[in-house]
A and B are shown apart, each in its own frame.
Chain A
Amino acid sequence: MAVVPDFLIKRVYKKGSLRKCDEGIEFDLKNVLGPGVISGLDYVQINDYKFTKEAISFITQGIELFANSVSELNPIRFRLGQEGTMRLLEHVECLKNGVNKIIIELTNPEAGRMKITLEDNLNIA
């Protein structure tokens, strides 16, 4: 099992935040669990489409970090209460009306790879 149980880690996702944007797709996260370090953003998958590192960025505290620059030497420090936006920089038709499945795989220096599986409806507001 993951270091943090599924039902807890899902709490970092802000329900209803999945949306289209000019660059592609975005959704929001908020760390409600505890101080965390992300030393790798491996991929994000929406339904059947997998976004690789080159097409992922994470915007937090006004800074945009690209997934392929995140490493153990250059980690994302995601503090308790901190918010961020995951941006997927590709225009692909992977979103659907109704429930979308989202998978985020990231790496934590102590725990290794962690997979977060989520579901959300597309926000068309």
Chain B
Amino acid sequence: MDIKFDKHSLIVNGERIVLKSGTIHYFRTFGKKEWFDRLAKMKAGGYNCVDLYLCWSFHNPQKGVWDFEGYKNIAELFQCAKDLGMFIIVRPGPYINAEVSAGGLPYWLLKDKDVIPRNRKDGDYIYSKAYMDNLKDWYGKVLPIVKDFDNLIAIQIENEYSTNGGEVEYLQELYQIVRSYGINVPIFHNDAYIAGLYADVVDIYACDIYPYINPKTNWREETYSFDTLDNLEDMTRCFSENSPMFIAEMQSGWYDKWLGYGYEKIREDMGKDHINIMTKTALSQGVTMFNHYMCAGGTNILDTCSDEVYTSYDFASPISELGIIKDNFKKAKEINYFLDAFNLSQTGPKESDVEVPQGCYFKEREDLINSCTWKFIRNFNSCETMIDGVNLESFDMKILPENLSLYACKIVKSGVEIFAKLDNGSSQAIFVLADEKNSITIEDSSGNIQNYSADCSDFETLTFEANGKKTLIIFLTRKTSDECWKLENKLIFGAKFIYPDGRIAIENEKEIKTYTLEGGFNSQCYTPQTSSLRVKLTDFDVYFCAPEIEKDYDYSSWKKIKHNEDFTLQDSFQSDVYSEFVWYRGKISNKVREISITARHIFAIYINGYEILNRNSYKHDNLASVDEHIVVDVNPDVYNNDNNEICVLVQNLGFDRGFTNNIGTPRGLIYFKCDTQELIDWHIRGRISLDKREMQEGQAPYLACLEKEFEIPEKYFDKDVFAPFVLDMEKTPFRRATIFLNGVKIGRYIRHNANQTKFYLPYEFLQKNNKIQIVIWEKSHRIKGVIDFKNYLNGVIINIENHKVYQLF
């Protein structure tokens, strides 16, 4: 593939293109079936590119150990995009942020004292050869795979990088490494500060734009947050005069955090208006390369995510975590189809004397390909406003043509937007969006100019003919356009989604209408046969799964960890313990009456098998987790005369993602001090034991595992059924649980800390015969013994059910 570029756009095999990209995270969306589904939906929605971070830690769990198999097989992912006719943007980091633990750097790397992650410490540039040697190994594994794919259109080095001094050497070296693998596509870096960082190092300058980062504020009231986007061309042209305007991350959603607001609120806040305004404003600024971040949400499984985020990474994105098309996707589709209809890859700003009302935005661009003018108008007022003779609803934005020549007529002026175009060389159908408050002015081939009301119902048509050619202007209501899909030279109406191979998805019995220029409208009725399934799980096998808490547990094989004179402990990963759950055990004197403790992020203290404290110690503020220092009294009744044992269990929620802070904030037990000032001979080990054994009275009733097998009928795995399953924890009595599906950790449930009670069961790990295990780390003073605990758990009901069922025809 021949890729060139100039100041306007990418030029691929001699043709200018607008790059319409969206991000998915393959480390949160697993395996070929989901990759195909998400990418196929994107392609059907008019995206021509998928943006892919490559996550180092996902493939390199230990030094020298690499895993690119199964759902980690990136070559299959790239091939899937290629088969769908999509370009790929690859971003191999080494640092990727993406709210993954340590920003994607492997844990073992952080342990090496010679490694200075990202050649940066406290913001200052410090070159680390050890770090560079390791990242060369990573690049050496992935770049040869990337190089083999001719649908690669651009590659990014590092991510949102900066140092206090703005040194360029590190980025220059990364650039040379990429080139040394024979990769010849444009190289870029994404500048989070829109300050021209590394513009001279890379081929194409790119930036990130996120106007909405605080769900506490309402972007409709705080519209100043769009200032940068509104001035992007002026701001960035001074340092990127010869490359296309590229927004490498253009906000199309936002992530929720522990103790956050929930995706329902974020989705409601942003709505379809946000992506509409973002994308159209970007186009008004001359952007011809954009990437919706994120385009499809995902799920944080295993130990992938940073300590900031919980299991769902829905991101309020156009395609939800479960693969469902949302309102913002429909809006993105509308814009993408318009860009397919009229190529806006070569435009220039045009001076305008239009009077712009307060709260509104108006830009004009001269289109050098379509020889017309495009007007970009936006209303940030809370009421309908008229701009340049066009009525615009509150928080709406439109792209409107002026003097656009078609086969048999010319759109002189328009208050309605173009949705899509079909064209067979002699006839063309321009689908426009009906609008009861606006009109369209058209000049026919005889020079007659007429104004037509756009207050039309579906499929009302204006027909123009001239010189053996025909132009149809066909009106669509917004509701119809939302479920309208373009497939080559055909429009399909009424489908929930389509795949580019021609399959259409419906939820209920439905008449599907299609339109072609040659055949006009046709319709066919479809009736789905697959209904929604609910599997009610009761009568769980319940077993005790934390023998480590018991008084006489043998921990002699555990690693020793030093309790320092200042009562701190080294990070658990320094002891090669990378697990989410970390046990600490040691001996304690019976004189201790008070313990001071700091641990990340959730912990419990047990003495002689009795729980002393169980604490959610998670707090995240100002982009960093905040330590909590707890002082707890110890009831002397827990002690024996001698030989007393203390056990601390800590649940780590991940490393800091390292955007603003140094990566590698300590995890596990960080500080432990007794009022006796004694130092403990701590021993450490990771993981929860899921050893199945009978419960016995006298055991510590603190952690238990619920286990149940269940079946999913074969038909839900059929290639023509799309039916994502969720596990619903809503009605359970637990405060905390970790969920395993067929041995894979697929979720963390912490009641009150996250707005999530339903957990997606990814197709990659779901089978016909399944085993679910839910490890409960429960605190309830009402439960006095292990038998009570078992009785308490016996009444649990958990449903596994379809979120939606679509059948494809």
Contact = CB atoms under 8 A, between A and B. Distances in A.
B213 interface: yes
Given A5-B163, A7-B165, A110 B623 contact: yes
A34 interface: yes
The residue in A3, A11, A81, A109 that gathers the most chain B C-beta atoms within 10 A of its C-beta is A3
A112 B162 contact: no
A34 B227 contact: yes
A111 B225 CA distance: 15
B762 to A, nearest CB: 31
A35 B660 contact: no
Nearest to B121: A1
A94 interface: no
Interface string B201-224: 000000000010110100000101
A1 B660 contact: yes
B193 A110 contact: no
Interface in A1-16: 1-8, 11
A109 B216 contact: yes
A35 B227 contact: yes
A77 interface: yes
B690 interface: no
A63 to B, nearest CB: 15
A21 interface: no
Contact of B622 (A6, A7, A35, A111): A111
Interface in B160-214: 162-166, 193-195, 211, 213-214
A50 interface: no
B193 A5 contact: yes
A82 to B, nearest CB: 9
Interface string A1-45: 111111110010000000000000000000001110000000000
A80 interface: yes
Interface string B504-534: 0000000000000000000000000000000
Contact of A7 (B164, B227, B661): B164
Interface residues of B, number: 29
Contact of A5 (B162, B231, B622): B162
B227 A81 contact: yes
B164 A1 contact: yes
B123 A1 contact: yes
Contacts of B163: 5
A79 interface: yes
A5 B660 contact: no
A112 B123 contact: no
A2 B162 contact: no
Contacts of B228: 34-35, 80
B166 A35 contact: no
A109 B193 contact: no
Contacts of A113: 622
Interface residues of A, number: 21
A111 B193 contact: no
A111 B123 contact: no
Contact of A112 (B122, B195, B226, B622): B622
A112 B619 CA distance: 14
A8 B166 CA distance: 9
B123 A110 contact: no
B216 A8 contact: no
Contacts of A80: 224, 227-228, 231
A112 B621 contact: yes
Contacts of B193: 4-5, 8, 33-34
Contacts of A11: 195
A5 B227 contact: no
Contact of A35 (B122, B195, B224): B224
Nearest to B194: A34
A86 to B, nearest CB: 20
A8 B660 contact: no
Contact of B225 (A3, A7, A8, A35): A35
Contacts of A4: 193
Contacts of A111: 622-623, 660
A4 B231 CA distance: 20
B227 A2 contact: no
A112 to B, nearest CB: 3
Interface in B616-665: 621-624, 660-662
Contacts of A79: 224, 227
A75 to B, nearest CB: 10
Given A33-B193, A79-B224, A3 B216 contact: no
Contacts of B622: 110-113
Interface in B382-433: none
Contacts of B164: 1, 5-7
Contacts of A2: 123, 660
A110 B225 contact: no
B232 to A, nearest CB: 10
Contacts of A34: 193-194, 227-228
B266 to A, nearest CB: 15
Given A4-B193, A33-B194, A109-B216, 5 more contacts: A5-B164, A6-B164, A7-B164, A7-B165, A110-B214
19 contacts: A1-B120, A1-B662, A3-B660, A5-B162, A5-B166, A6-B164, A7-B164, A8-B193, A8-B195, A33-B193, A34-B227, A35-B225, A35-B227, A79-B227, A80-B224, A80-B227, A81-B227, A81-B231, A110-B622
Interface of A: 1-8, 11, 33-35, 77, 79-81, 109-113
What are the nearest 5 A-B pairs in CB distance? A1-B123, A112-B622, A80-B227, A6-B164, A35-B227
